[in-house]
Amino acid sequence: MAHWSRFEKELELETRRLISHYTSIQDEEDQNFQMALKFAWSNFKFHRFLDANRHNVQRSINGIHEKLMVHSDLSKAESWLRLTEEFLSSPLPNTEGTKTEVHYSVLALLLNLSDSPSNTNYCERPRLKETEKEDKFDWAKYLMEGEDIDTGPFPDTPEWSEDESEEEDSQQPLSREDSGIQVDRTPQEDHEQNDKTIQVTWTVGEPDSRAWLEQHIVTSYWVPNSPRFPHSLHLHSNLYNVWDQHLYNTGPLYLPEEKSFVTETQVIRETLWLFSGVKKLFIFQLNDGKVTVRNDVVVTHLTNNCLHSVLEHIAAYGQAVTRLQKFIDEVTGHSAEPCPPGLNSSSSSSSKKSSDPPFRTYQAFVWALYKYFTSFKEELNTIEKDIIAKDETVTLSSVLERLSPHLAQITMLHRVFCTGVADVPPGTPNVLRASHLLNTLYKAIIEYDSVGEASEQSVSVALLFSLWVETVRPYLEIVDEWIVHGHLFDPAKEFIIQRNKDVPVNHRDFWYATYTLYSVSETVESEERLSDAASGSSGGEQASSSRQHTMVSFLKPVLKQIIMAGKSMQLLKNLDCKETEQPDDAERKSLYTLFLESVQTRLRHGEDSPTNTVTEQQATKKSLIKMQSIVARHLELDDIHDPLLAINFTRLYLEQNDFHEKFSGSNVILDRSSESVTCQTFELTLRSCLYPHIERRYIECCGNLMRTLKKDYMLLEYLQAMRNYFLLEAGDTMYDFYTAIFDKVLEKESWQQLAFLNVQLQEAVGQRHPEDSSRLSIFLETIDPARKKQPVNNLDGLTLSYKVPWPVDIVISSECQKIYNQVFLLLLQIKWAKYSLDTLRFSDLTVAAKRQEGGQSEESTAKEPINQQIHRMFLLRVKLMHFVNSLHNYIMTRVVSCHLHDDVHVIFDASIQVTVSLQVSFVKEAIMKVLNLVLIFSDRWQAGFGAWKIESIDKMESDFKNCHMFLVTILNKAVCRGSFPHCKSYSAVKYFYLVRMH
């Protein structure tokens, strides 16, 4: 054997391996081994068998298949055929080509070695099963090609791989397990093995992982004419084909179109992507912000129409999401480029809208939206993870079901967004945008709130409420800054009240013309500019009543307070008085914080109103909860929506769940789930949580201002002066003044000369109140001649003016002086009537009468005796005097007796009360008529007897009687009814009593 060929050497090697493998004799010099080797060699070389015949082998294969079929081993038969076929067409290690003689000889060897495969069922079965398992695995791999499978270990049958890797490592280092998939293990093994193995493992691993990748990569369905993914041929998963076939068969004109087949998982994934804001998708296409569904997308198990109806639905939601997302991007994208607020505010009107940075209300709104979307995307991610995990079946409908509460919320958000933001025409000023958005949110809450406590609605309301709370933040901060620091900081001009730049604080117009209130009309988006002159101190209600549906609704009830507090604060700051120092800013809680805290407290404790329930609840809490829940169920059954009850029930539940823990945290983020309680009574919440803080601040501010004005600016002294001169409280001084005028009038001289009047006034005032003489002046207003007809109107146009220094002129304004002047005029008229009656002398009449007697006796005898006429005159005079005196007394005592009140407004109100009461037109008219009568009467009296006819006495008497009766009836009624609010009843009674005595 010395000259063996290489072939023979290899043969020898293989034979030895075979023998050592079967006999497990490792020592080749062993006798048995040598014997076996000899035996093998002799058999190999000197046998009498024919060469393997492929026909015979094929026949045997068919025979075995037939045999298996006969034995009803269908699966085994099928595997057998397939495996042999596969083997014959596979390459062998050292043989080129397929279906060679070697293939058949190997098969022949196996056939020879086979131990009755059909009969040995008992030992076949487990192995057969393995074969089948292998089968199944193949199919699964086959089916799931194109699916994204989790990168787990390659699911080969473990027994084989262990065999391979451990036993055949030296021969075949091509283990599947080394394909680089189990990354963790490979380096350890490598470490133990030699360098060569490492290299081989690595080189062989690459194609394996590529093959793995090829198997697991998603079919690129987005490419046109992409290969169809393989799928089951089961009828249920081919509904589309069946339907398509049906259409093809029934309609001769039916033309099958080119379709892109996708799997349902792909559809779900694209849906999730769409919802999370991905713009470039295959199934859904985004054109100009509009999401459309591709027409040619089909899944195999649904008909085209069915799929599309679902997808259109999704696309609508997707569009809403995209729109909201776009808005968020727009607003957040802007903030990247910083812009100094002052710079912008000056040029906001001229510059383009797009270049304006979003103002704070939008930013806050976007922040709230962003927070919502974060939670929404978390949900989407969870779903996607579920799909990847494959622990449960995820279908499109189940995903939609799962997302349905979110989708409802998105629809709602989109609606709010459309009305509140998107529908606002471009170029609208920020103030309108901001207030419109807040109004929309507010209305949406009210609207959803009123729908009731349906489960989905309450979630929506809670979401809306949280949105609102976030969005309102800038507004509340502006208000806070204003009413606390007196500084209306609003660079983007978004607040409904804006400062007029050109009015300095220390100007007297400050109080009335500094701020402009913008309001949004709901019907027409027109801008109304309302100067807040009216809403300043007294007439705020009138102004607000004229604009019912305007402005930011939630601030409306406290708007006046805000304005007053803000202005007071600003004024106070400018008066720089030391006493009104604010507490340290760090300690102070902002209005927004206070509001949030109140809301939280309210959520914790519910309302205070149903106190009975609370106490009961403390006593027998458990039983009550049980009872309440039963009642609640009954209520639901009866379809009763009682908000108060619902609140109570919910509160009970809230207390059950550790509600305190949720809110005891330091941050003030509101938990949405719990807000349904609040939203149930949204307006109540505002009333109890927001308004009181503003109210408190208002009272504090205005109180401070008043105190400062009184203390440092002598407000009360000025008021006293006003009363002295306008209300004639300084009787002696004013007496000097007006008697001078009255004397002039009596003497029929012209008194309407400014110089004369001023001299009189200065003389009168200068004697007793020299400090005021420089402030007081008198004017004559021209009045229309139509009013001058009556003698009582003779004094009209006489106007006193008192110069009040700033800042007291805010309180004692020109409007205020006008009213004072009205009172002054009325008092003058009464005084004049009284004066003219008082100055009448009996002698005038009697002397004239005596003169008359001689001359015209015949005339007088015809009527009445002259004495009787004179007597009537006397009587009438007394009656008139009585009336005028009572009136004079009443009014002067009312005026004088109203002592100093602390509040300026009270003083003011008290002093004008009289006038206002007289403004009540009919009463005033009657009194004026009487006063007029008095003047005519005194005129005639002075003219002397005979200058007028006797009929005129009758007329005067009857006129007075009428007026008197009228007043008596009116006042009587008013007193009885108690509905004469301006006349304090006792005064009226007094008056009434005095008059009736007559």
Whether 372 contacts 463, CB under 8 Å: yes
**Nearest to other proteins of 47, 236 (CB atom):** 47
Residue from 80, 275, 698, 726 in contact with other proteins (CB under 8 A): 80
Residue from 62, 70, 74, 109 in contact with other proteins (CB under 8 A): 109
At which residue do the structure tokens 């290299």 appear? 199
List binders of other proteins among 49-68 (CB under 8 A). 49-52, 64
> Tokens at residue 634, please?
């009954």
Quote the DSSP letter at residue 97: S
Q: Of all helices (H) and strands (E), which one includes residue 375?
A: helix 360-389
Torsion of CA 122, 123, 127, 129, to 10 degrees: 10
Shortest Cβ 146–other proteins spacing (Å): 22
List binders of other proteins among 205-234 (CB under 8 A). 206-208, 211
∠ CA(329), CA(331), CA(333), 5° rounding? Answer: 60
Whether 686 contacts 472, CB under 8 Å: no
**Nearest to other proteins of 123, 343 (CB atom):** 123
Shortest Cβ 206–other proteins spacing (Å): 7
Residues contacting other proteins: total by CB under 8 A: 74
> Tokens at residue 779, please?
């004017």
Buried b (16+ CB within 10 A) or exposed e, 914-953: bbebbeeeebeebbbbbbbbbbbbbebbbeebbeeeeeeb
Residue from 4, 63, 97, 114 in contact with other proteins (CB under 8 A): 114
**Nearest to other proteins of 43, 867 (CB atom):** 43
**Nearest to other proteins of 130, 902 (CB atom):** 130
Q: Of all helices (H) and strands (E), which one includes residue 287?
A: strand 284-287
**Nearest to other proteins of 130, 447 (CB atom):** 130
Q: Report the 10 Å Cβ neighbour count for 324.
A: 24
Residue 87 touches other proteins, criterion: CB under 8 A: yes
Q: What are phi and psi of 144, to 5 degrees?
A: -90, 10
- Residues contacting residue 90 through CB under 8 Å, at least 6 positions apart: 98
Residue from 34, 69, 106, 371 in contact with other proteins (CB under 8 A): 106
Residue from 27, 28, 44, 137 in contact with other proteins (CB under 8 A): 44
At which residue do the structure tokens 């019912």 appear? 548
Q: What is the 3-state secondary structure (H, E, C) of 512-533?
A: HHCEEEEEECCCCCCEEEEECC
List binders of other proteins among 145-204 (CB under 8 A). 160, 163-164, 167-168, 171-172, 174, 176, 203-204
| Binding track, positions 661-690, relative to other proteins; x by CB under 8 A | ------------------------------
List binders of other proteins among 507-536 (CB under 8 A). none
> Tokens at residue 605, please?
């404790």
Shortest Cβ 24–other proteins spacing (Å): 7
Shortest Cβ 366–other proteins spacing (Å): 55
List binders of other proteins among 16-35 (CB under 8 A). 17-19, 21-24, 32
At which residue do the structure tokens 């012209």 appear? 750
**Nearest to other proteins of 202, 842 (CB atom):** 202
∠ CA(131), CA(133), CA(136), 5° rounding? Answer: 115
Indicate the residue type of 425: P
Residue 619 touches other proteins, criterion: CB under 8 A: no
Quote the DSSP letter at residue 95: B
Shortest Cβ 218–other proteins spacing (Å): 24
**Nearest to other proteins of 87, 874 (CB atom):** 87
Residue 856 touches other proteins, criterion: CB under 8 A: no
Whether 936 contacts 791, CB under 8 Å: yes
**Nearest to other proteins of 200, 328 (CB atom):** 200
Q: Helix, strand, coil shares of the chain as percentages rounded to 5?
A: 65, 5, 30
Half-sphere exposure of 827 (CA within 13 A, CB side): 33
**Nearest to other proteins of 28, 925 (CB atom):** 28
Shortest Cβ 74–other proteins spacing (Å): 14
Residue from 29, 115, 184, 392 in contact with other proteins (CB under 8 A): 115
The answer to whether the bond into 807 is cis (omega within 30° of 0) is yes
- Residues contacting residue 263 through CB under 8 Å, at least 6 positions apart: 146, 147, 229, 231, 299
Q: How far apart are CA 721 and CA 727, in angstroms?
A: 9
Mark the segment that binds other proteins (CB under 8 A) among 15-23, 460-468, 562-570, 978-986.
Answer: 15-23
Shortest Cβ 219–other proteins spacing (Å): 23
Quote the DSSP letter at residue 340: -
Whether 299 contacts 261, CB under 8 Å: yes
Whether 326 contacts 294, CB under 8 Å: no
> Tokens at residue 138, please?
């193949």
List binders of other proteins among 810-829 (CB under 8 A). none
Nearest to 691 by CA among 606, 591, 603: 591
List binders of other proteins among 120-139 (CB under 8 A). 120, 123-124, 127-128, 130-131, 134
**Nearest to other proteins of 119, 542 (CB atom):** 119
Residue from 117, 358, 420, 566 in contact with other proteins (CB under 8 A): 117
Whether 209 contacts 181, CB under 8 Å: yes
Shortest Cβ 16–other proteins spacing (Å): 10
**Nearest to other proteins of 93, 978 (CB atom):** 93
Nearest to 292 by CA among 314, 321, 269, 265: 314
**Nearest to other proteins of 12, 379 (CB atom):** 12
N- to C-terminal Cα distance for the chain?
169
**Nearest to other proteins of 84, 265 (CB atom):** 84
Mark the segment that binds other proteins (CB under 8 A) among 81-89, 238-246, 341-349, 469-477.
Answer: 81-89
Shortest Cβ 230–other proteins spacing (Å): 20
Whether 933 contacts 956, CB under 8 Å: yes
Shortest Cβ 88–other proteins spacing (Å): 10
Shortest Cβ 185–other proteins spacing (Å): 20
Shortest Cβ 186–other proteins spacing (Å): 17
**Nearest to other proteins of 163, 329 (CB atom):** 163
**Nearest to other proteins of 172, 767 (CB atom):** 172
Whether 770 contacts 732, CB under 8 Å: no
**Nearest to other proteins of 156, 456 (CB atom):** 156
Shortest Cβ 154–other proteins spacing (Å): 14
Q: Write down how long the chain is.
A: 998
**Nearest to other proteins of 37, 848 (CB atom):** 37
Residue from 1, 2, 113, 637 in contact with other proteins (CB under 8 A): 113
Mark the segment that binds other proteins (CB under 8 A) among 3-11, 269-277, 360-368, 724-732.
Answer: 3-11
Strand-pair category, 260-261 with 297-298: parallel
Shortest Cβ 290–other proteins spacing (Å): 49
Residue from 39, 137, 248, 842 in contact with other proteins (CB under 8 A): 39
Q: What are phi and psi of 801, to 5 degrees?
A: -140, 135
**Nearest to other proteins of 79, 226 (CB atom):** 79
Mark the segment that binds other proteins (CB under 8 A) among 83-91, 262-270, 611-619, 886-894.
Answer: 83-91
Residue from 34, 54, 69, 102 in contact with other proteins (CB under 8 A): 102
Shortest Cβ 284–other proteins spacing (Å): 40
> Tokens at residue 998, please?
């007559």
